[in-house]
Amino acid sequence: MPRLLTICLITIGLSSIADAQELTGTLKRVADTGEFRIGYVPDAPPMSFLDTNGKPAGYSIALCRFVANAVKAATGREELEVIYVPLIAPEERLAAVEDGTVDIECASTTVTLSRRERVDFTLMTFITGGAVLSTNEKPINAVVETAGKTVAVIKGTTTHAALREFISSNEFKITLRMIATHDEGMELLDAGKVDGYASDRAMLVGQVFRSADRSKYAITRDVFSFEPYALMLHRGDTDFRLVADRALANLYGNARIRRLYHDWFGRYGEPMTPILEAMFEFQAVGE
């Protein structure tokens, strides 16, 4: 073999090895295995849920598919298998990201400082607030009307913490019924065993539009908390976080994000709020 050709081949080989060595953390694992693992909540429409075909769907799932495409490009994989891992309770979701059971969590997780001690977050993906769902037979039209009522709330969520703070600050007497899932909250409300079901407004909208009789429900006009959502990933994995943030920033910078919003919220009569519009514009970070 001619000496020049040998040198060229060695150089190409060393370059490929160097490129492979540059991958770290999640990106390296994906490059090695060809698998990208997405954690999701199966009963949290319109963010993440199982559709009528039993497939993961929703606004957050759609965002994570854009991230998956970016990961595929970053790792140089010709094929990438996306594996969906169902997760329910907040602690289960946090632990799955911490221990590497999933590469990213794509549901309705609120960014908090205490959670950032354990995981990292991407750019924000949504902004909502805690509200209360009731039936039109016994409507709760404003959060203050929860005084003297029994309200279901998922234990350990930021909604739970915010509702307790609201009760303490306003010295209301509200009985909280601890539950584990959105489905449980809807079942208790429909059966008349609670007066209201508290969750993020985005979650309540999804529950209503999944119901067979949407007209039977009312959602409070106001909210009692501020809930900024983002996607969770392993703490300290800066290379992967940059890939995910770049995918989201590119998405926020064009009309596609508005089409996604319409698909999962707008068609159900939820207009994009000014704060959400500003969030997309401010996070459309350029190269």
pLDDT, tens digit (0-9, with 9 covering 90-100), for 176-187: 999 999 999 999
Span(s) in the chain for CATH 3.40.190.10:
24-128+228-282, 130-219
- Can you identify the CATH homologous superfamily of domain 130-219? Periplasmic binding protein-like II (3.40.190.10)
Residue range 64-84, pLDDT digits in tens: 999 999 999 999 999 999 999
- At residue 213 the predicted structure's pLDDT band, cuts being 50, 70 and 90, is confident
pLDDT at residue 21, rounded to an integer: 55
| Token pair for 156 | 């350990």
Percent of the chain with pLDDT over 70: 93
Fold of the CATH domain 24-128+228-282: D-Maltodextrin-Binding Protein; domain 2 (3.40.190)
pLDDT for residue 133 is more than 60: yes
pLDDT for residue 15 is more than 50: no
Q: What is the Rg, in whole angstroms, of the alpha carbon atoms belonging to the chain?
A: 22
Top mean pLDDT of 22-36, 195-209, 265-279 is at: 22-36
